[in-house]
Amino acid sequence: MSSRRATTAVGSLIAASVSVVLTLSFPAGADDPGPGSSKGGKVVDAAPAGVRTTTSLPERISVDNSSGKTSITATVKNEGTQDGEQIRLLVVGFDGLTVKSVQGCAAIAAKDLPEGSNSGFSCPIGHLAAGSSKSYAVDATFDLKKTGKICLPVQTGDGGKTYWQQGPVPFGTTNPSPNAPATPLLLGTDNAPVGPGGDEPPKTGVELPKTGVGRDLLPLGVAGASLLMAGAAGLWWSRRPAGPTAS
């Protein structure tokens, strides 16, 4: 093979390699929700010594613009050095985000939902070993004409204490995509509702402290007003009497 032909062949191989890398990496990046985040989370009641319970949500989800369907992975972790006692995870939706099902969990009766929420599921976890985690597949819908929030409290099995609560933290976008097949939403971002003029309905109710990084105020509406009267400092379930628990 001549030097010129060899140079041409090598150049073609390099070009093909670059093409393959771009073709494979771009779709993976588009579909990858990124690492989980505990944004909007806060300790409520002190956990037993050596136990550190937290939760995480994906940094990004995608909402189908036709059906409004989306999927979310909710993860609970024991980042401590000791095994935990029996706990349960609650997955609760607010406003435009409605939780339809959570794998392995039971729906919370409407009468036992926190005020202001529209849906919720209770997930009995049992004892979570030190350094271990458990993830749940959450099926939900998101009305892009509204804002939407999700909340993950981690409680004792009887609901008497809340060791950790993430949220209510919003998913949203400041750049709606009504003509695209799907709209990506980011954790910790207030949604800009899709509608005539893209205007968001005026906020009402009491403003309470947010718990996420870079978030100063979290509007909780009617639920917030009830919490202030109860002196719960924005943690709406930290002192709530336990309702029926799924087994």
* 139-152: pLDDT as tens digits: 999 999 999 999 99
Q: pLDDT tens digits for 50-101?
A: 999 999 999 999 999 999 999 999 999 999 999 999 999 999 999 999 999 9
Residue among 93, 100, 113 at smallest CA distance from 243: 113
Instruction: Report the residue count for the chain.
Output: 247
Q: How confident is the model at residue 1, as a pLDDT? A: 52
85: exposed, middle or buried (Cβ count in 10 Å: 0-12, 13-18, 19+): middle
Ranges under pLDDT 70 in the chain: 1-35, 195-247
Which neighbouring-strand residues pair with 217?
209
Q: What's the confidence (pLDDT) of residue 98?
A: 98
- What residue spans define the domains of the chain? 33-196+204-230
pLDDT at 176: 87
pLDDT value at position 178?
83
pLDDT of residue 201: 42
CATH of 33-196+204-230, one of 3.40.190.10, 2.60.120.200, 2.60.40.10, 1.10.357.10: 2.60.40.10
Euclidean distance between CA atoms 168 and 216, whole angstroms: 13
Q: How far apart are CA 36 and CA 210, in angstroms?
A: 19
**Beta carbons within 10 angstroms of residue 141's beta carbon:** 18
